[in-house]
Amino acid sequence: MTQQMLVLRASGGLSNRLQAVAAGLAYCLLSGRALYVDWRDGIYSDDFSNVFPRWFQLSGVAQASPPLLPFPETRVFPPFWKDWLSEAVAVEYLFDNDHMSPDNVARTSLDFSRLDYPQDILVGWGWDLSPLRRMLPALRQRYPDWGAFSEGETARRLLTNHLTPAPEILHSVELFAASRFLPGRTIGIHIRHTDLQSPLERMLDTLRRLASPDDTIFLTTDNRHVQTAVSRLFPRAVFTEKQFPPGDEPLHCYVPGLSNEQKGREALIDMLLLTRCDRIIHYRRSSFARLPALLSGLPQERIHVVD
Of 70-74, 123-127, 248-252, the range with the lowest mean pLDDT is 248-252
Where is pLDDT greater, at 43 or 72?
43
Question: What separation in angstroms does the CA of 203 have from each of 189, 200, 214?
Answer: 8, 5, 19
pLDDT band at 147 (very low <50, low <70, confident <90, very high): confident
CATH of domain 168-306: 3.40.50.11350
19-56 pLDDT tens trace: 999 999 999 999 999 999 999 998 899 999 999 999 99
* Statement: residue 273 has pLDDT above 70: yes
pLDDT at res. 256: 67
At the topology level, CATH places domain 5-165 in: Rossmann fold (3.40.50)
* Statement: residue 70 has pLDDT above 80: no
**What count of other Cβ atoms lies within 10 Å of the Cβ of residue 178?**
8
* Statement: residue 17 has pLDDT above 80: yes
pLDDT at res. 97: 76
DSSP codes of every residue in 158-221:
HHHHHEEE-HHHHHHHHHHHHHHS-SS-EEEEEE-BSSSB--HHHHHHHHHHH--TT-EEEEEE
pLDDT band at 307 (very low <50, low <70, confident <90, very high): very high
* Statement: residue 248 has pLDDT above 60: no
**Domain range annotation of the chain:** 5-165, 168-306
pLDDT at res. 73: 65
Q: State how far the Cα of 306 lies from the Cα of 289, in Å rounded to an integer.
A: 12
* Statement: residue 249 has pLDDT above 70: no
Average pLDDT over residues 64-74: 76
Identical fold for domains 5-165 and 168-306, yes or no, is yes
pLDDT band at 259 (very low <50, low <70, confident <90, very high): confident
